[in-house]
């Protein structure tokens, strides 16, 4: 009695819903629009369907599905079996609304097509998927504007946290500060900032640059140029510091003119080309170059080749890059490699720890992971200085 009543009520609701959908169409083919209402939809099974089919209430079904002690074993079995049979999957959107979280994290990097970032993303993904989070990747393409837009995009309540590596152009951090103040969990990696107090993960750039510079000095180079990102970035400052420390330790003078900043991190080839040009028309030419990032390194090699410069005969090169084909270059490229995968993993673990923390997190850490130096032919000295 009661049962049949609720059934008919349900049917009533169903048909009303269909009607409502159809009315959004401009024409009046009501009967047809039942089948192709508005945009075509993916048909899904809900908890209501199970409840109706078994003559139970939605609350009972919900509890049965999650094994609540309040439900009798027989009912549980019934529900679980039927759910399995009709391949029921909870609607994650409804869950998100209820629980006020989306189980997704946003990642903002300058470019995917960059060996460092794509490896870091693999690290991020490896942790996130295991912990049940989706990863939404977006690129700033080294533009402050695009970074702002894309972060706004992600943040409008659709991600539970953010993994950020700042763009070359970014100076003002208010777009991030605002979100951070509102309580959106975020972790910075690689290109970090002092202005926001949260977890951070970075490579030991000071040591990486120091080691690379020391290596060049050991090989006998004395006028070492440094082509680097924009001065805004943390990695720029850290790498410059390592470079300077190595010079100082070896009593070599620091010449500002040997430091070339590129505001787009090698994304604009002409920018690098110009710097190479300047380098070779200067009165005092460098004998080696330390490049500060993946893109800068490859653009620089391309520009040197275009300018007809031979490596290492005319000039030596060592670069920060995560390519795994440095060996195949002509000549094989000496490189400082960052632990990209591990950095991505560490950043994601830290982020999820904030997201899932039961109380506001106030103690933050900055993890610094070691780089690796690979010396190959591109940093040889001709003639060798034994």
| Per-residue CA distances from 369 to 130, 340, 343 (Å) | 23, 9, 7
DSSP run (H or E) holding 260: strand 259-261
Q: Site mask, a copy of itself, residues 254-293, x = CB under 8 A? A: ----------------------------------------
Max Cα-Cα span within the chain: 100
Query: Is 159 one of the binding residues for DNA (CB under 7 A)?
Result: no
Give the residue carrying structure tokens 């409502």. Answer: 20
Query: Is 182 one of the binding residues for DNA (CB under 7 A)?
Result: no
The interface partner of residue 56, options being DNA, a copy of itself, none and the CB cut-off 5 to 8 Å by kind, is DNA
Query: Is 325 one of the binding residues for a copy of itself (CB under 8 A)?
Result: yes
The interface partner of residue 70, options being DNA, a copy of itself, none and the CB cut-off 5 to 8 Å by kind, is DNA
Query: Is 13 one of the binding residues for a copy of itself (CB under 8 A)?
Result: no
**CB of 54 vs DNA, minimal distance in Å:** 8
Query: Is 94 one of the binding residues for a copy of itself (CB under 8 A)?
Result: yes
CA angle 123, 143, 107 (to 5 degrees): 25
Burial class (CB in 10 A: 0-12, 13-18, 19+), 4: exposed
C-alpha closest to that of 353 among 194, 136, 199: 199
Give the residue carrying structure tokens 């089919």. Answer: 53
Query: Is 384 one of the binding residues for a copy of itself (CB under 8 A)?
Result: no
Return the residue of 57, 62, 75, 96 that touches a copy of itself, per CB under 8 A: 96
Number of Cβ within 10 Å of residue 180's Cβ equals: 17
Query: Is 175 one of the binding residues for a copy of itself (CB under 8 A)?
Result: no
Distance, in Å, from the CA atom of 209 to the CA atom of 203, rounded to the nearest integer, reads 11
Count interface residues toward DNA (CB under 7 A).
40
CB 188 within 8 A of CB 367: no
Distance, in Å, from the CA atom of 231 to the CA atom of 261, rounded to the nearest integer, reads 7
289 HSE (CA, 13 A, CB side): 33
**CB of 311 vs a copy of itself, minimal distance in Å:** 10
Closer to a copy of itself by Cβ: residue 268 or 282: 268
**Site residues (CB under 8 A) for a copy of itself, limited to 53-72:** 65-67
Count interface residues toward a copy of itself (CB under 8 A).
91
Return the residue of 2, 70, 74, 182 that touches a copy of itself, per CB under 8 A: 182
Instruction: Give, as one character, the DSSP assignment of residue 63.
Output: H
Closer to DNA by Cβ: residue 46 or 230: 46
Q: Which range, of 62-70, 197-205, 272-280, 285-293, touches DNA by CB under 7 A? A: 62-70
In the chain, the N- to C-terminal Cα span, in Å, equals 100
**Site residues (CB under 7 A) for DNA, limited to 91-120:** 91, 94-95, 97-98, 100
Number of Cβ within 10 Å of residue 255's Cβ equals: 14
Query: Is 148 one of the binding residues for a copy of itself (CB under 8 A)?
Result: no
**CB of 307 vs a copy of itself, minimal distance in Å:** 13
Return the residue of 7, 8, 11, 23 that touches DNA, per CB under 7 A: 23
């Amino acid at each position: 009695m009661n049962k049949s009543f609720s059934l008919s009520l349900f049917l009533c609701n169903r048909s009303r819903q269909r009607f409502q959908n159809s009315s959004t169409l401009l024409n009046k083919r009501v009967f047809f629009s039942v089948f192709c209402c508005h945009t075509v939809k993916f048909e899904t099974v809900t908890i209501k369907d199970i409840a109706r089919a078994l003559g139970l209430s939605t609350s009972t079904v919900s509890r049965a599905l999650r094994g609540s002690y309040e439900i009798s074993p027989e009912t549980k079995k019934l529900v679980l079996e039927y759910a399995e049979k009709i391949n029921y999957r909870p609607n994650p959107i409804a869950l998100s609304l209820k629980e006020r979280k989306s189980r997704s994290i946003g990642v903002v990097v300058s470019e995917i097509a960059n060996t460092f970032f794509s490896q870091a993303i693999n690290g991020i993904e490896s942790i996130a998927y295991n912990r049940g989070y989706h990863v939404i990747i977006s690129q700033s393409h080294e533009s402050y504007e695009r970074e702002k837009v894309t972060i706004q995009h992600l943040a409008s309540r659709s991600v539970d946290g953010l993994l950020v590596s700042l763009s070359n152009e970014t100076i003002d951090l208010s777009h991030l500060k605002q979100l951070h103040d509102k309580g959106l969990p975020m972790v910075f990696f690689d290109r970090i900032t002092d202005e926001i107090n949260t977890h951070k993960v970075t490579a030991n750039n000071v040591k990486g640059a120091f080691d690379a510079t020391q290596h060049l000095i050991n090989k006998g180079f004395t006028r070492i140029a440094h082509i680097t990102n924009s001065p805004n970035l943390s990695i720029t400052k850290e790498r410059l510091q390592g470079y300077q420390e190595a010079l100082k330790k070896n009593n070599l003078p620091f010449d500002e003119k040997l430091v070339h900043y590129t505001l787009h991190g090698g994304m604009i080839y002409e920018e690098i080309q110009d710097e190479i040009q300047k380098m070779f028309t200067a009165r005092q030419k460098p004998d080696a170059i330390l490049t500060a990032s993946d893109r800068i390194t490859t653009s620089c090699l391309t520009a040197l080749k275009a300018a007809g410069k031979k490596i290492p005969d005319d000039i030596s090169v060592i670069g920060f890059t995560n390519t795994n084909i440095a060996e195949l270059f002509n000549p094989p490229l000496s490189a400082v490699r960052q632990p990209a995968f591990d950095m991505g993993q560490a950043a994601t673990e830290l982020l999820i720890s904030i997201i899932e923390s039961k109380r506001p997190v106030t103690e933050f850490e900055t993890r610094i992971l070691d780089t690796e130096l690979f010396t190959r032919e591109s940093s040889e000295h001709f003639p060798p200085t034994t």
